[in-house]
Structure 1
Amino acid sequence: MTEPPYPVDQVPELGVERLLLVVTGSTFATGVPFWADWLRMSYPHLETTVVLTRSAQRFVTWQALAHRVGGEVLTDVWPEEEARARHVELAEWAQAFVVYPATLHYTARLALGLADSPSLLAAQVTKAPIALAPSLPPGGLDSAAFQKHWATLSARPNVVMTAPEPGRSATTGRMEAWVPPPMPDVIEALEHRRAELAAAQAAHPVERALL
């Protein structure tokens, strides 16, 4: 492959060199290898580390991603018999986070402040920008629970929620599910939030340092 698997004029700027991509257990995780190729082709200097949740591994394998990213492919568990604080490593390494696709369950755990996996704990403590691309079942977008979690996460300065798009439900076959937007849209939103955070820090360096 010599060309990005997406139109070149639709490749947004990205001002980071290390990206953490968290993949959760939606059927749309099957499309992540395509977007991993797109990231690698579109941003040759970008190092991407992928974290697969347990439920994501039902839809995409380590083998499908291992040769498509310029970094590691990890599972979202703390290593056994290793003195590694994986959440600390991830939080310190990543200059930006993308959760793609983001299930309602993962979104809820993040909004509630839960930290029962390395990626969640890293996301809870990082100051790096985080973009979530929701993937929701029929009725999920308008549910009271998701709307509450959307509002909670949107209030966090470093989090941006990207709007899902109408899509076909894998269960009913009807156009009543909500699918994640294309990765370029997510990267564009992520970069916009990163630029906002950088501008705020430059304008108030002492105040930001004390937070």
Structure 2
Amino acid sequence: MKPVLPFPFQKRILIAVSGGIAAYKICEVISTLAKAGAEVRAILTDSAQQFITPLTIATLCRHQVYTDADFWLPTHGRPLHIQLGEWAELFVIAPLTANSLAKISVGMADNLLTNTLLASSCPVLLVPAMNRQMWQQSIVQQNWQQVLSDGRFHGIAPVAGVLACDLPAEESEGWQVGSGRMAEPRQILACIESLVQTGGKRDLVGKGVLVSAGGTREHLDPVRFIGNPSTGKMGLAVAQAAVHRGARVTLVQAAMSAELLALLPDEVEVVSVTSAEQMRRAMLERFAQADITVMTAAVGDVQPLDYCDRKLSKADLPTVLPLKHCADILAELGKIKQPPQFLVGFAAQTGDILTPALGKLKAKNLDVIVANPVDKPNAGFGSDTNTATLINQAGKQVNIEGCSKLTLAHHLFNFLETVKK
């Protein structure tokens, strides 16, 4: 799955690379940003150059790379760290080593990276990578929490995975796995996109966001089902956006791939279901604790009247399949919604998308409906991009054309601010 960013992504992004084997991952991040139209500048520490060359990064940035050798050169203009700090609209440090983290936590300025950081005022994204025992040290965790307590700093904590510095376990067990592995490029890019969209604001801190995603499956027997093409990408984007804005997020998902679920921030609570009834129960159990509920899931409308617990032979398959209606989860939530809860629905439509969406908005007591054409290119089920019209109860409409699903999710949270409770 290729990373997706809105185009043109005309932002000035400064990326600093400190020393660690994970430095190779930043190449994909820089390449994707540059291809999307961003202006990218890079700083490499002396230790970073032991893992990746300035020429590699300069080629991907399409611009000179800055090192400590440039920092200490005499200049007749303004100091380099001042120029870079004022130029940047977003500062990314990846990989962030324990050494650089410690320096940042106490405000040290002993190289180009740390001096530039102190000379800047834009949001900063920190992406650590280190040996698992180093990451778990109490002093490292104290430094991490101290830095993140400053609202200017945002972080993606290391994830569990095979680390280059770990010794192999028994041959039959493979390599040891531990926390310390740097986040994958697609996760870093998602956080960059969110920070660009929000300017670093955390307007959902203290809020609980409940999201449904994917497509339910109504089984006839253990191997056959009635389903739909929903992949859960829109729900993933809503969950990512909510976490990036500071919310506590629960995702109730059906039939999402392991590849997509791996892109969720670690903070997201994931509840896995299969059928519409299972999703109904999961949503009802958690709805009262949610400040905002967003139903992106494509929930089945009908299910087989009868279920067989063994695979039916071809000869036993009915030529006419009796059906019964599934529960309408969104309508049920709309009936029990209490102020100041917000309830958002999605209307996946073909042809005229507004008329049925408006009907759904009123009939199901929603605060906002997202009218989503699924018969247009690069929109709807399975697409990485989307097009939609956002509508609130007062009749206000905002058209969102051709953007990534993560950007659409941020437009949705911004639009919720127009809804008065």
For Structure 1 versus Structure 2, the TM-score category normalised by the shorter chain is: 0.7 to 0.9
Of residues 132, 135, 140 in structure 2, which corresponds to 1:138? 132
Q: For the pair shown, which has the larger CA radius of gyration, 1 or 2?
A: 2
The normalised TM-score by structure 1 is 0.80
Of residues 172, 175, 178 in structure 2, which corresponds to 1:176? 178
- Match of 2:107, SS? coil
- Residue 162, structure 1, aligned to residue 164, structure 2: no
- Match of 1:89, SS? helix
- Residue 11, structure 1, aligned to residue 13, structure 2: no
**1:74 aligns to what?**
66
- Residue 65, structure 1, aligned to residue 67, structure 2: no
Structure 1 residues 172 and 52: CA distance shift in structure 2, 3 A: same
Distance in 1 between the 2:11 and 2:65 partners? 17
Distance in 2 between the 1:169 and 1:40 partners? 28
Structure 1 residues 106 and 98: CA distance shift in structure 2, 3 A: same
CA-to-partner distance for each residue in 1:84-134, whole Å, 9 max, x for gaps?
511101111111011111111111111111111222122124220100110
Structure 1 residues 187 and 28: CA distance shift in structure 2, 3 A: same
Structure 1 residues 156 and 190: CA distance shift in structure 2, 3 A: farther
Q: What amino acid is aligned across from residue 29 of structure 1 in structure 2?
A: A
Retained in 2: the 8 A contact 1:168–1:175? yes
CA-to-partner distance for each residue in 1:25-65, whole Å, 9 max, x for gaps?
00111233233222222x2x201001000000000001112
Q: What amino acid is aligned across from residue 163 of structure 1 in structure 2?
A: A
- More displaced stretch, 48-57 vs 154-163: 154-163
Distance in 1 between the 2:113 and 2:33 partners? 20
**2:189 aligns to what?**
187
CA-to-partner distance for each residue in 1:134-175, whole Å, 9 max, x for gaps?
001121222111111111111111110112111223233322
Q: What amino acid is aligned across from residue 178 of structure 1 in structure 2?
A: G
Structure 1 residues 196 and 73: CA distance shift in structure 2, 3 A: closer
Retained in 2: the 8 A contact 1:16–1:46? yes
Distance in 1 between the 2:192 and 2:143 partners? 19
- Residue 94, structure 1, aligned to residue 88, structure 2: yes
The normalised TM-score by structure 2 is 0.42
- Residue 148, structure 1, aligned to residue 142, structure 2: yes
Structure 1 residues 16 and 124: CA distance shift in structure 2, 3 A: farther
Q: What amino acid is aligned across from residue 141 of structure 2 in structure 1?
A: Q
Count of equivalent residues:
191
Distance in 1 between the 2:144 and 2:103 partners? 12
Mark the runs of 5 or more structure 2 residues left unpaired by the alignment.
168-175, 204-421
CA RMSD, 1 decimal = 2.3
Mark the runs of 5 or more structure 1 residues left unpaired by the alignment.
1-5, 201-211
CA-to-partner distance for each residue in 1:174-199, whole Å, 9 max, x for gaps?
22351111233223334434515469
Retained in 2: the 8 A contact 1:135–1:180? yes
**1:203 aligns to what?**
none
Structure 1 residues 55 and 154: CA distance shift in structure 2, 3 A: same
